[in-house]
Amino acid sequence: MENSDSDLDEKIEDINEIFEDLISDAQEFSEDLVSGIHSTIIMGLISFVAGVQTLWYNRYYITGGDYIPLLLAGITCFSGLFIILRGYILRKKYSILIEARKNLSNIR
């Protein structure tokens, strides 16, 4: 009887260790995910600002009939807006995981 209790205690300790590792990995994963989503939104903003800046600095060429800078600025602005939108979609999609990250930090 004593031997089976010791085996059971050892198995419980092993299971507890596995759960601790899972909690730690889940917390790191969620932190990486949140960081990636924020980086996506920031890169989208930078891209959009670069497009607006391209429009501003090339306004004389554009009004003079050279539409290549307009095309490039438009593509850059559109890409920036698309990246920002994608960041917000990801943030909404993974909002449950983001909330779980806060709860995981309370467990540890």
Q: Among 11-15, 40-44, 87-91, whose mean pLDDT is lowest? A: 11-15
What are the tens digits of pLDDT across the range 29-49? 778 888 899 999 999 999 999
Q: CA 90 to CA 108: how far, in whole Å?
A: 26
Alpha-carbon distances of 30 from 38, 50, 85, rounded to whole Å: 12, 30, 20
The confidence score (pLDDT) of residue 1 equals 47
Alpha-carbon distances of 86 from 29, 31, 56, 83, 90, rounded to whole Å: 20, 18, 26, 5, 6
Spell out the domain ranges in the chain: 2-107
Q: Which two tokens stand for residue 39?
A: 């980086």
Average pLDDT, the chain: 85
Q: What is the pTM of this model?
A: 0.70
Q: State the Cα angle at 87 between 85 and 21, rounded to 5°.
A: 160
